[in-house]
Chains A and B, each alone.
Chain A
């Protein structure tokens, strides 16, 4: 029981963010209108993805240093979960963009960058699957993972800030900035982010344990 407090916290936070996200009062802004509620679902997906990819990066470094097979499993499972959350982030973003910017794919730098980031991690999975021998596979894919992560950080956090973007915080968006996000959104937004990050950690943990069990059986 005392070990599962964070899982309970995750459920509570996500449930709260779903209820709060749909029911609480939101500021009425032109163009955004009620679609601003999506911020409680779209943005946390990206936070969860970045967290999981960072976890994957850390475990890859650990694997390269120590050579413990479990670290490699953790790295690949967190990358898997990161990709799933990235795809969810893209989908929620595209639905939102369809209503506010007029089309699902609006050639926005952040949108393009996140699609490329997903490509990098899919390439990581392809690289893993191209090898059979476990140690070699773990080592080479960890090297690629560690090599690609800093470039992905530049891609996601530096490049979009250099050009105009439809996303807030970069260019002319009529609604809001990350800096002056409406105060009534914050009590739902922050718990939503934390909740989804915890959920992603939980899923990774489960997948890691399943994978470890499979390895033991085979």
Chain B
């Protein structure tokens, strides 16, 4: 099988497995919705747009850590060995990243929708804010996928995942908050090109290092 064929196959497998149980998907959607609701009940209203923005990204951060932690941990050792026999490590990490990007896109769109529903949406340039959210989903997915692989290999799940991923994701979060703040204020789009370039550059670095490193992690 060629690489692209393997990747397609693995992504289809991920989606099918998820669709059959819908446990993780429903769980994480409920997680986002209830977090937003808890925030709503404790804040009631947010009159300050930067706070609105920061709270949204904090919710996204925790939701995505929870969503992506599962991507390696839910699979048993035997099943992982089976993948090893049918596909290469590159196909596996790429398929996981793509699947997680899709998951994060779905998650963030629902989160943003519900968040704007309960807290009045002050965004000045909604289309550009969406772009920030899409870039955010891609970045979170690419960073967390590799970290979740590392954490699952180290053998103790949740706590380690948070410790390892938060410091690594902070640079991305800083740029994302700045980019979305620009969109929130409805600034001229040309102002934010720097941030977009930085985000894309970080993503390229993260994905290439993941591709280079995953084969070492995979081998036991």
Binding site for B on A (CB under 8 A): 64, 113, 116-117, 119-120, 123, 126-127, 130-131, 136, 139-140, 142-144, 146-148, 150-151, 154-155, 158-159, 162
Q: B154 near A116 (CB under 8 angstroms)?
A: no
| B95 beta carbon closer than 8 Å to chain A | no
Please indicate the chain B residues that have their CB under 8 angstroms from the CB of A116 in the complex. Answer: 167, 170-171
Q: A127 near B209 (CB under 8 angstroms)?
A: no
Q: B217 near A150 (CB under 8 angstroms)?
A: no
Binding site for A on B (CB under 8 A): 146-147, 150, 153-156, 160, 163-164, 166-168, 170-171, 174-175, 194-195, 198, 201-202, 205-206, 209-210, 212-213, 216-217
Please indicate the chain B residues that have their CB under 8 angstroms from the CB of A117 in the complex. Answer: 167
- The answer for the CA separation of A130 and B163 in the assembled complex, in Å, is 12
| Cross-interface CB contact of B216 among A131, A143, A148, A162, cutoff 8 Å | A143
A123, A127, A142, A150 — most chain B CB neighbours (10 Å)? A123
Please indicate the chain B residues that have their CB under 8 angstroms from the CB of A146 in the complex. Answer: 209, 212-213
Q: A147 near B155 (CB under 8 angstroms)?
A: no
Main secondary structure of the interface of A (DSSP, over half): helix
- The answer for the CA separation of A139 and B153 in the assembled complex, in Å, is 10
B154, B156, B167, B209 — most chain A CB neighbours (10 Å)? B167
Beyond A146-B213, A154-B198: 16 further Cβ-contacts under 8 Å? A64-B213, A119-B167, A123-B164, A126-B163, A130-B154, A130-B155, A136-B153, A140-B154, A142-B216, A144-B164, A146-B209, A147-B146, A154-B201, A155-B171, A159-B175, A159-B198
